[in-house]
Amino acid sequence: MARVVLGVAGGIAAYKSAFLLRLLTEAGHDVRVVPTASALRFVGAATFEALSHHPVTSEVFDDVDQVAHVRIGQEADLIVVAPATADLLARTVHGRADDLLAATLLVARCPVLLAPAMHTEMWEHPATTANVATLRERGVLVLPPADGRLTGADTGPGRMPDPADIAALVELVLHAGPEALRRDLDGRRILISAGGTREPLDPVRFLGNRSSGKQGLALARVAAARGAEVTLVAANVDQPAPAGVRLIEVSTAEQLRTAMLAEVKRADVVVMAAAVADFRPTIVSNGKIKKGSGDPEPIELARNPDILSELVAGRRLGQVFVGFAAETGDAERSVLQHGAVKLAAKGVDLLVVNEVGAEITFDRPDNAATILSADGEQITVPRGPKAVLAARLWDIVTARLADPGSGLS
């Protein structure tokens, strides 16, 4: 359990902060909400009080005997401001202390995460750009806003990221520290596949697998927060793309292959986190297959192409390729031995190996894995949030981009 301060500035996205508050308290954190006076015009203090079980005020002159304007910031393990408006960013840059939230930010020495939300014009204004740059230089973690529908009929960058996205990044920073969101992937182009392919049998049935896409989403979310330009090729993932991530939706292995081949040239890093069906039914029935009365017809299967091997075969100098392997040990080889064989067979730089079983890995928020490198090194990431494994992988990838011969340290 951590002590989290949830700052809420005065934008329409303030209504979403109630959902974020809920996610943070459900994760077991003690959350103190500090809204601005404008935020309270969008969401009443009673909502925040009921959900956080703490009194809520935006004024420095309330509870003066408690010295709240200093104490709340001093005691926090992390401060997240969502939404952070253009005005809040500007006030923070100038070290203002004209309300409880600004004073709290001025006092705090813990990690600070800002989730900006505003109209595109405001986000793209040189003043805001400069403010964001200044805050980042000071070590404040400023998330990229999402692209999409704004308050009016207009669309563009400026939406507050989904509360679930922000909550996942809060968890990452609490587990791994603010370095887990440093901007070391700025300008890098990253292509990630996620989810599990479905191979149709008829209009209603398919052969599929248990991959939820959560690990791929975590990789995309963390890479985007670290400054990368991320394209996510998602196979049957039922969650929205994280903020700042370009989404290409596919379903079958063949569609996934086409999308990856179209995107691979411009990518600096390719991560195949999707679970790809190795086989597909040779015949896809146009109509729904009837059960009939006799024995069922056997399903004839054809081999799907190995997409990762094909991508690696066309690699250009400097590209980094990462594969995933969900393995079970057997009489001949351990999980890691299977992983080492697969790494060599696929020709990737890094392979993330998971041990799988009925109750581990699939559709869970946490994961444990061993990352193997082509130089024979290995690093084990203990069980923790999927975002932590993602951040660890990006640490290793960043080192390889800077120095292709580097190891896993």
Q: What single DSSP character describes residue 186?
A: T
Q: Is 386 left (phi over 0), alpha (psi -120 to 50) or beta?
A: alpha
CA-based radius of gyration for the chain: 23
Nearest-angstrom CA–CA distance, 263 and 281: 27
Residue 274 CB, nearest approach to ligand CTP (Å): 5
Residue 320 CB, nearest approach to ligand CTP (Å): 14
SS3 of 170, please? helix
Locate tokens 């974020």: which residue? Answer: 20
Residue 208 CB, nearest approach to ligand CTP (Å): 13
Locate tokens 């990452």: which residue? Answer: 172
Sorted by sequence, the CB contacts under 8 Å of residue 387 that are 6+ apart come out as 168, 169, 171, 172, 175, 180, 218, 221, 222
Buried b (16+ CB within 10 A) or exposed e, 172-185: bbbebebebbbebb
Of 166 and 253, which has the nearer Cβ to ligand CTP?
A: 253
Of 173 and 253, which has the nearer Cβ to ligand CTP?
A: 253
Q: Which positions are annotated as active-site residues?
A: 209
Of 64 and 341, which has the nearer Cβ to ligand CTP?
A: 341
Residue 322 CB, nearest approach to ligand CTP (Å): 8
Q: Give me the residues that bind ligand CTP (CB under 6 A), please.
A: 253, 272, 274, 276, 278, 304, 306-308, 323-326, 342, 346
Nearest-angstrom CA–CA distance, 43 and 102: 19
Residue 260 CB, nearest approach to ligand CTP (Å): 8
